[in-house]
């Protein structure tokens, strides 16, 4: 589950797949996910919203909160973004039978990679 804060202060949450990977700029470990290019969360993050990602396995759970960086089609060349999105997708446990089709859909949807730097981690288990 990823949560951001809307301009009016309400929280927007949605279910996502995420994984732990190295931040592409700092190299620090972070939580990453891939987002559709038209997702409201992107605007919230660009406006400065902190991001919380919560995960659960059985009775154990963790929530990571911190600032996020977005890297999308306007930020890096197409090949760099293609590889970055694949890396994040695979870090989240994703596998695909046809990566050519996967890449096409990611490009058409203007998908972006989101990297959440953990400033606060809470949880049980």
Kindly report the average pLDDT of the chain as a whole number. 97
Confidence band for 125, pLDDT divided at 50, 70 and 90: confident
pLDDT at residue 40 tops 90: yes
What is the residue whose two structure tokens read 């592409």?
24
Read off the pTM. 0.95
Return all residues near 70 (Cβ < 8 A) that are at least 6 apart. Answer: 35, 42, 45, 46, 112, 113, 114
Token pair 């996502």 in the structure block, residue: 16
Which residue range forms the structural domain that includes residue 51? Answer: 2-124
CATH number where 48 lies: 2.30.110.10
Number of domains in the chain: 1
Give residue-wise pLDDT tens across range 79-118.
999 999 999 999 999 999 999 999 999 999 999 999 999 9
Q: What does the pLDDT read at residue 4? A: 98
Q: What gap in Å lies between CA 71 and CA 45, rounded to an integer?
A: 11
């Amino acid at each position: 589950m990823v949560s951001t804060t809307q301009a009016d202060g309400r929280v927007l949450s949605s279910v996502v797949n995420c994984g732990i990977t190295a931040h592409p700029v700092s190299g620090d470990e972070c939580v990453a996910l891939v987002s559709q290019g038209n997702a409201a969360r992107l605007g919230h993050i660009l406006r400065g919203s902190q991001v919380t990602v919560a995960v659960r396995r059985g009775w154990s759970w963790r929530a990571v909160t911190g600032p996020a960086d977005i890297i999308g089609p306007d930020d890096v060349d197409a090949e760099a973004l293609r590889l970055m999105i694949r890396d994040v997708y695979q870090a989240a446990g994703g596998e695909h039978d046809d990566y050519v089709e996967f890449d096409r859909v990611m490009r058409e949807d203007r998908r972006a990679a989101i990297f959440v730097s953990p400033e606060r981690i809470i949880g049980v288990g």
